[in-house]
Amino acid sequence: MPYVGSDGTMQQSKPFGLTMIMDAFWGTVAFVNLFFRSLFHLDDGGPQQGTGGRAPRMPGRRMGGVGRMGGVAPPPCVGGG
């Protein structure tokens, strides 16, 4: 990919040096930052109005269990026998 240097000269690729090492370092830091923000859903915005700064929690859903009344019946067995 063509690269235009700070002095205005055009080169075939970016020259290897301290700037390339620093770009790689900061690119890695940005990637790790984005990875953990997406993993833990970190919000860098300010407090949301009416929620006290926290995201609203989803209400817990009660799951039916074996032997409880009012649950959904299991599917019929296939294959006979």
Domain extent for 30: 15-43
Answer yes or no: is 60 within a domain.
no
Burial class (CB in 10 A: 0-12, 13-18, 19+), 12: exposed
Answer yes or no: is 10 within a domain.
no
Answer yes or no: is 71 within a domain.
no
Residue range 7-27, pLDDT digits in tens: 888 888 777 788 889 999 999
Domain count, the chain: 1
Helix, coil or strand: residue 27: helix
What is the rounded distance in angstroms from the CA atom of residue 58 to the CA atom of residue 1?
A: 48
pLDDT above 90 for 69: no
Record the pTM: 0.40
